[in-house]
Amino acid sequence: MSGKFTWLTGDKRIWILYLFAALACWLLKITGHNQNNFLIFRASYYHLVHHLNLYAAYPAEHDDMFYYGPLFPVFFAPFALLPKAIGLLLWELANAAAYLIAVNYLPLNINRKKMLLLFCVIEFANSAFSEQFNPMMVAFIMGAFILVEKEKYLWATLLIVAGAMMKLYPIVGLAFFMFSRHKLKFLASTVAWTAVLLVLPVLFCGADFLIDAYHRWLPAVAHKNILNHRLESRSQDICIMGIVRDFTRNPNISDLPFYIFGMVVFAVPMLRFSQYKSLQFRMQVLAALLIMVVIFSSGGESPTYILPVTGVFLWLLMKARPFTAARIVLIIFLLILTGLGLSDVMPRPVRHDYIGMYGMKAWPCIIAWLIISWELWFKKFDIASPDNGNSNNAIFAAV
């Protein structure tokens, strides 16, 4: 697509649908539903500025605990400083806007982008209902890819580093270094942003407190990873390792062999340097990364699946024929099993005793990731110009 912003991705009704979903979730939350995640995020800012341990329990303020990096309370400050209802509303709308803008700038034609948004709206609503940060995480990763394509490495690396220092997931964007034409600029920008963002919170909390917070952060995340392995807890560990733990009824199965497997499966295609000229190959790497950050994470939970579902539909909609019989079956399972499987739409016995018990929400995404990885290993991708009108390349638009 051209550099000019295309108003509402060519169809304002789809943007309105997302904004309506965000507004509906906000209304449900302020009229009686638990606002726990927003309260955790909001409290983190006040804990930071008052020099209170970010990673301690505060049962009088909210359930669960804070696990994001010390940069997150700074990022969240504009929402925390507002009255709760207004802050939550703007938080929901900001997540919707970030996701919509990122999709708007993907190098796909307008019709494919509209389909992508329609297919992903259920998962967006799942995340918005939990007041989660995940739609922005999609935007950070996709935005970094788009900016690397545009050779705007300063801004691409800002998204990667800032996102990784808050929720870790966007660190996968460092893989886009391989696609950069000016690798020294990419590296220099990454180092510069890391230095700046590491110390930025000191403006709010002082150096001693910040150093202590960094010392507490990763151990807190590691402890959370151990807690996620509990078989009786099905809100987390919706991932490949969790599924194996579910079927074997063994919570002590290590994540490490799965991490090694995933890294090898991803790394080998990155040695196919001749394929880097193909936009489809590069975008398929993006799709694989969006899926992997969740299906290889014990922190995988229902609201995080906006990432892998976006990755799966991005991959499908890069196909010249995305709606073959087999792909339609996959789409149906994505919409029903992944999108609605853990919602109240599904009867509780099915939701709890089968879909929840065996991590079935992840199954369609894992199947898609295996197919995507097979193609990245062996498929010869089209390296022609993305706007030459060929049956395959007409799907894409210039960045």
pLDDT of residue 33: 74
Alpha helical stretches, state H, 268-381: 279-295, 306-317, 325-333, 348-350, 363-378
pLDDT of residue 233: 54
pLDDT of residue 234: 62
pLDDT in tens, 82-112: 999 999 999 999 999 999 999 999 999 999 9
pLDDT of residue 6: 45
CA–centroid distance for 150 within its chain: 21
Q: Tell me 354's DSSP state.
A: I
What is the pTM (predicted TM-score) of this model?
A: 0.93
Q: Tell me 3's DSSP state.
A: S
SS3 of 396, please?
strand
Domain ranges of the chain: 7-395
pLDDT of residue 215: 95
pLDDT of residue 181: 95
Reported in sequence order, the residue ranges of the chain that DSSP labels E, i.e. its strands, are none
Answer left, alpha or beta for residue 354, where phi above 0 means left and psi between -120 and 50 means alpha. Answer: alpha
**Residue 244 and residue 256: Cα distance in Å, rounded?**
13
CA–centroid distance for 30 within its chain: 25
Q: CB–CB of 164/177 below 8 Å?
A: no
The residue among 47, 66, 365 whose CA lies nearest residue 223 is: 66
pLDDT of residue 384: 61
Give the chain's length: 399
**Residue 221 and residue 299: Cα distance in Å, rounded?**
9
Low-confidence residues in the chain, pLDDT < 70: 1-11, 232-234, 384-394, 398-399
pLDDT in tens, 293-318: 999 998 889 999 999 999 999 999 99
